[in-house]
Chain A
């Protein structure tokens, strides 16, 4: 069912146009990377502050609270570009192992956000009051950096795998002919 959704999506006029144009797809990808630089840099500084490794003369709430909205803007840019790229080559991405890994890691990062939101990211003032940075904050920061780095590397891996679509299509019609 997901496969037919992918095939439908990439056959729409909008996504076909993106796929067909020689410069639109790379521009979207480059914007995705620029967004990664902005968004990733802010994630890096936030998490390194939670680990006590950066901007130590600023309070945690100063860093975390001020970067919250810019991070959301950066995430919006990255996700929008990602969705545009996904839609234009949906069937290829469906078969791409690195894309599946990336989706899995994105799910993990979403769960990570749910788990640590209350105790850490929305609780910066309490973290400042503690004598030393609590270990849950450092744990959150460590896993955040690990997951996002994994997501970026999996994203890079997507380009290295080319699912053999012709062979897959031929295999499917062959199987279909047998069942009749």
Chain B
């Protein structure tokens, strides 16, 4: 017995989920970027990166929860097409790498407040990974299906 995905029954569901997805990554990537820019010595320089991270980590987590949850729902609307889309696969690989990197190497660098070259490299890598996730997401619609 095939169950129809309720998301495909409504014309409004997908766009609304996409908007929530955008809001989610604005919250998460935006707060991550504030700390990353601080590690690069730009932006909120009156505070240390560790202090900024303490203020913002919960919102980053909330944003990530929203982004992943809406992402899963969006994926569920057409699993086969997404699975076969090379941009989508690129995005997911970058997303996993970004999340793992965020909560391991970057977390250590931020809490130790490294303002040296290593800290800057970590910040650039963090932003590059999240930017790759976003770029991958956009290219989903511009790449033909099929590996």
Contacts and interface: CB of A to CB of B under 8 A. Distances in A.
Interface of A: 22-23, 25-27, 29-30, 33-34, 36-42, 44-45, 54-55, 57-58, 62-63, 66-67, 70, 149, 152-153, 156-157, 159-160
Contacts of A63: 44
B59 A22 contact: no
A36 B55 contact: no
A41 B46 contact: no
Given A153-B19, A156-B19, 7 more contacts: A22-B142, A33-B138, A38-B29, A45-B30, A54-B56, A55-B55, A70-B42
Contacts of A55: 55-56
B30 A156 contact: no
Contacts of B25: 37
Contacts of A40: 26, 30
Given A54-B59, A152-B26, A37 B134 contact: yes
18 contacts: A25-B142, A26-B138, A26-B141, A30-B139, A33-B22, A33-B134, A33-B138, A36-B26, A38-B33, A41-B31, A45-B31, A54-B56, A62-B46, A62-B47, A66-B44, A66-B45, A70-B42, A152-B22
A59 B42 CA distance: 19
A157 B15 contact: yes
Contacts of A153: 19, 22
A149 B27 CA distance: 12
Query: Which range holds the interface residue count of chain B?
Result: 20 to 34
A57 to B, nearest CB: 7
B30 A41 contact: yes
Contacts of A160: 15
A30 B134 contact: yes
B113 interface: no
Given A26-B139, A30-B138, A66-B45, A41 B15 contact: no
A29 B26 contact: no
Nearest to B131: A34
Contact of A42 (B34, B130, B135, B142): B34
Contacts of B34: 41-42, 45
**Which of B18, B44, B47, B56 has the largest number of chain A CB atoms within 10 A?**
B44
B37 interface: yes
B59 A67 contact: no
Contact of A152 (B23, B43, B59, B141): B23
A21 B46 CA distance: 44
Nearest to B143: A26
A38 to B, nearest CB: 5
Contacts of B141: 26, 159
A160 B17 CA distance: 14
B18 A156 contact: yes
A141 B62 CA distance: 20
A142 to B, nearest CB: 16
Interface string B47-59: 1000000011001
A33 B34 CA distance: 16
A70 B43 contact: yes
